[in-house]
Chains A and B, each alone.
Chain A
Amino acid sequence: MSTFVYMTRCDGCGHCVDICPSDIMHIDETIRRAVNIEPNFCWECYSCVKACPNHAIDVRGYADFAPMGHSVRVRREEEKGTISWKIKFRNGKEKNFVSPITTKPWGKFIPKLAEGDKPNQGEINSQKLYNEPEGLNTKKELPTVNKDAFKKGVYY
């Protein structure tokens, strides 16, 4: 699966180029619209799909089920701080979700890994990931969230 661009909707704003973590969303040299230059390297993170202000980017499904009419589309509304998903199943069933979107500014919480301590051999062999559990801001067991604490309006 990979992203593709609806050319009639794209206005060449560059938000997908900016956000793509794989650096595969680029600007076409003939029509100055966004294009996924390396579909095989797309890991379907949906960053560009969500960032596109014109909903011009979609994700192509696998050939065996895509022709049967599924669809996963998203609408991001920055001014409301919401992101809505519409999942359409092959049998016509639909599910809609609304969630809050992050409000962290660009680059503010990117960990500076190069400045951190190098892991020793014991840490490398450990099943814990780098900087765990400190990196999770806890020295206890892995944290859980009480369902009562969920915010009103978030559907799970």
Chain B
Amino acid sequence: MINNNPFSILSETVPSIAMQGFLIIMIALVIFGTLIDIIHKKNVKYFFENAKKAKKSATKELSAGERVSVIAKTVAYDIGTTSELGAGKRRVAHLLGMYGTILFWIASAVMIFCYSSSTTPSAWPIIWHVGAIMTVLGGSWFWFFLRVDVYSEAQPWYRIIKADLFVLALIATSLFGLIWSYLQSLNLYGRWDDKVFLVLYVVSNLVLFGGVYWSKFAHMFYKPGAAIQKNLAEADGSRDNLPPEADAPEKFGLGIKRESPKHY
């Protein structure tokens, strides 16, 4: 199963051009949904106005080199390791889901565009399956155990809200994709099983990419921008009006250990 390109087997019944068209429509849906989200919420306009205002209180003019260095560090650390989530389970679950999704999507695009009708190098199907497994693990860990409304607000775990649209669609896409791939590898000779999961896989993709406006999908574009702005503001001294870091006074005693927000 893990060495099979599921799209290559599918191309025997569905033309490659249809799969490629579907993927392009999904990308277009993401762009369209994000633009509508930006226009409706006016969040990007607010973000840039706020950044411009904060720049007025800058104490230092950053050179182009310094800017590049801050952005590179932000990409490598803040964005690449989602450092804002601190050390702990939330960060590990997020990293699993984030990198799993990236691998899953890249491998899907490569296999659909390059290898749907030719022999696939074994690395891509492995990346696709591993990415899907990571996404299911990270997403399920988050949804079942780490959701803040359950963890800190004591809501029941089975309560589904609009904010779950993104994570549940993401888990469904990867899970149905995995099951479809597994059933395909069983050689069921035209039985209905794999077709059902193919339909579920397609529907969950439509919900995930078509629901950008209603879901949290666009946070993956906003969050990196916000992290870069935050670190640039730290570097130029404006710090969004925050005080500088304390100079570690000698007699303030030991620091404290933050407790989990579970005291409801």
Contacts and interface: CB of A to CB of B under 8 A. Distances in A.
Nearest to B155: A27
Given A15-B261, A32-B163, A103-B256, A55 B240 contact: yes
A81 interface: yes
Nearest to B247: A98
A62 to B, nearest CB: 17
A80 B254 CA distance: 7
B258 A53 contact: yes
A39 B84 CA distance: 26
A73 B246 CA distance: 14
A30 B243 contact: no
Contact of B163 (A29, A77, A78, A106): A29
A23 B251 CA distance: 34
Interface string A68-80: 0001011101111
Contact of A14 (B84, B248, B257, B261): B261
Contacts of A101: 256
Contacts of A103: 253-254, 256
B84 A82 contact: no
Interface residues of A, number: 49
B158 interface: no
- By size class, the interface of chain B is 35 or more
Interface of B is mostly: loop
B257 A12 contact: no
Contacts of B248: 80, 82
Choose among B216, B230, B256 the residue with the greatest number of A CB atoms under 10 Å from its CB: B256
A101 B90 CA distance: 26
B243 A96 contact: yes
Contacts of B250: 152-153
A60 interface: no
A86 interface: yes
Interface stretch (A3-11, A119-127, A135-143): A3-11
8 contacts: A8-B225, A11-B84, A29-B161, A77-B255, A80-B252, A81-B254, A100-B253, A151-B251
Interface of A: 7-9, 11-15, 17-19, 26-32, 53-55, 71, 73-75, 77-82, 84-86, 88, 96-98, 100-103, 105-107, 151-154
